[in-house]
């Protein structure tokens, strides 16, 4: 099986140890990255080519696309100033960029795609989101409703 096929088989993202379990050698992985058959998103983590840049950013942080960014991905929200990423509570080696990343920690078992949360889950996440810009937007909406009454 080609490295790119294994990554696709595993849902579009694979760790190096997963690839090795499928029999991919270090050379094959190296060549797959060099020939751009897969994207190296971070050390030891690979994604299918053609993966949305939003999802690649979330994978680089160390989680999957979430909240408003997931809604943006599904075409249900405007482009967001920050990227919202769901990260397991016990995750390590995160790359939380200085600014622009809103992390949603979760203790719940990961369900669905390893790349992006479902639209339903994304909507729920927006309710507890700590993104200040997002909160401002909420306040503006509340204010508008208040003025209209």
Residue 66 DSSP class: -
The nearest distance, CB 104 to Zn ion, in angstroms, is: 6
Q: Which is nearer to Zn ion, 67 or 87 (CB)?
A: 67
Binding positions for Zn ion, 13-42, rule CB under 5 A: none
| 67 sits near Zn ion (criterion: CB under 5 A) | yes
Q: Are 13 and 115 in contact (CB under 8 A)?
A: yes
Q: Which residue pairs from 49-56 have beta carbons closer than 8 angstroms and sit at least 24 positions apart in sequence?
A: 49/4, 51/12, 51/13, 51/115, 54/83, 55/12, 55/115, 55/116
**84 near Zn ion, rule: CB under 5 A:** yes
- Residue 102 found at the interface with Zn ion (CB under 5 A): yes
Instruction: Give whichever of 102 and 116 is closer to Zn ion, judged by the CB atom.
Output: 102
- Containing 104, the helix (H) or strand (E) segment is strand 101-106
Which CB, 84 or 121, lies closer to Zn ion? Answer: 84
List residues near Zn ion by CB under 5 A.
Answer: 67, 84, 102, 129, 131
């Amino acid at each position: 099986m080609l490295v790119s096929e294994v990554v696709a088989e595993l849902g579009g993202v694979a760790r190096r140890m997963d690839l090795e379990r499928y029999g991919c050698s270090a050379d094959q992985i190296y060549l797959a990255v060099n020939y751009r058959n897969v994207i190296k998103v971070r050390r030891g983590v690979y994604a299918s080519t053609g993966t949305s840049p939003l999802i690649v950013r979330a994978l680089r942080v160390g989680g999957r696309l979430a909240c408003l960014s997931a809604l943006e991905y599904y075409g249900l929200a405007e482009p967001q100033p920050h990227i919202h990423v769901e990260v397991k509570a016990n995750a390590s080696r995160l790359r939380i960029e200085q600014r622009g990343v809103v992390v949603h920690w979760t203790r719940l078992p990961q369900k669905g795609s390893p790349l992006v949360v479902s639209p339903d889950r994304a909507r729920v996440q927006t309710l507890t989101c700590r993104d200040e810009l997002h909160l401002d937007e909420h306040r503006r909406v509340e204010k508008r409703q208040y003025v209209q009454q």
